[in-house]
Chains A and B, each alone.
Chain A
């Protein structure tokens, strides 16, 4: 149980996917202008991350059993791409309200490095956290935490950017440069959480 909480805190605060692992920077910079789109995109990311982990974790066991683990990258990206397509079609047909909320973000997520990243990191974690018996439940928790961390970063940054809109920025810094410097400050504030997991004794 302790390790589950540790994974949650690590994913959201100390090892935030966007602000300290640099995964999913494109949507972080591109889709964080308005709060509601930031929330919609993040919700879709959490959903796809959980789905992709649920599909690829068992698949990896199958690959390893047959000595095919070098095919990981190809298999994972194809499974994610196919999965996102299927989910989009099923959602469109049967769960219309959910499709209206998340639908437009789904195709963008296929090539989002955060999703493939979390899937690959989950497989790497099996050896890294072998002492804690890293398994399917942990992988799912890790994916959820990564997605929640992504959402937190997006929501905070949407707020920062709305303030930035009205700020008087020097001409050469306008646009992307000032956005990146603002991201740097947000990332800096997350450094304050480092050591939290060890401090709480959750990795004992």
Chain B
């Protein structure tokens, strides 16, 4: 059925960035969002790594959607996603070791990022290859954009820098002419202020995420959209396997 429907590629692409932003609207992938947004470079690095995995796994899953039996689809998806994560992990280790260092355990943990399994289940498993690739790219960019916003706020307020460490990430590919990011700490020091380290710490991560979500809710409200909420089972990619019906809350006794 979905095959015959005309697919609007522009719409599929744009929905991931604003209307259905995976982090700020669907509340998926909260762990990497909070953990890797301590600086812009870190967050965007994570976003790009996840986007690559998302696009590749969406394409592979969509291409195999008629071969994978419905009952064994979750394990099959996990194997496909894990293979791409391993490839990305090896590439990052080889070409951007600084990113591997700063993301640490969150690089292999892309496997269990709900965004990727969620898109496989909600989109790639039912739609043709090109549409799935576009959907993956849109969602990936939406994820990266959310990480960029979080990272910008946390880095400027918490460390007094912006784009610091950019030379260690892309310095090997692009000639930055000695640019290593902006540093406002000197200027702050002159007027007797110091960066609020709290914002780089875990507590600041929760706080910035909460405030950002409140802002997005306010904007969404103005446009007549639903408020973002942790949808419990509906957002959970395993809802089908879990045996609970849609709308039913996870913590039903």
A180–B238 CB distance below 8 A: no
Q: Of residues 9 to 38 in B, which have CB atoms within 8 Å of A's CB atoms?
A: 27, 30-32, 34-35
Complex Cα distance, B213 from A80, in Å, reads 33
| Dominant secondary structure of chain A at its interface with chain B | helix
Q: Of residues 91 to 150 in A, which have CB atoms within 8 Å of B's CB atoms?
A: 104, 107-108, 110-113, 116-117, 120-121, 124
A184–B206 CB distance below 8 A: yes
Complex Cα distance, B250 from A179, in Å, reads 17
With contacts A33-B251, A116-B112 known, is A25 near B82, CB below 8 A?
no
| Dominant secondary structure of chain B at its interface with chain A | helix
A60 contacts chain B at the CB level, 8 A cutoff: no
Query: Hey, which chain A residues are within 8 Å of B209, CB to CB?
Result: 180
Q: Which of A19, A73, A108 contacts B250 (CB 8 A)?
A: A108
A22–B112 CB distance below 8 A: no
Complex Cα distance, B69 from A74, in Å, reads 20
Nearest-neighbour CB distance to chain B for A63, whole angstroms, equals 13
Q: Of residues 76 to 92 in B, which have CB atoms within 8 Å of A's CB atoms?
A: 78-79, 82-83, 85-86, 89-90
Known: A22-B35, A25-B30, A180-B210. 15 other contacts (CB 8 A): A20-B202, A23-B31, A30-B230, A37-B253, A73-B108, A107-B238, A107-B242, A111-B78, A113-B112, A124-B105, A177-B217, A180-B206, A184-B205, A188-B198, A191-B203
Residues of A within 8 A of B (CB): 19-26, 29-31, 33-34, 36-37, 70-74, 77-78, 81, 104, 107-108, 110-113, 116-117, 120-121, 124, 172-181, 183-185, 187-188, 191
Residues of B within 8 A of A (CB): 27, 30-32, 34-35, 75, 78-79, 82-83, 85-86, 89-90, 104-105, 108-109, 111-114, 117, 198, 201-207, 209-211, 213-214, 217-218, 221, 227-230, 232, 236-238, 241-244, 250-251, 253
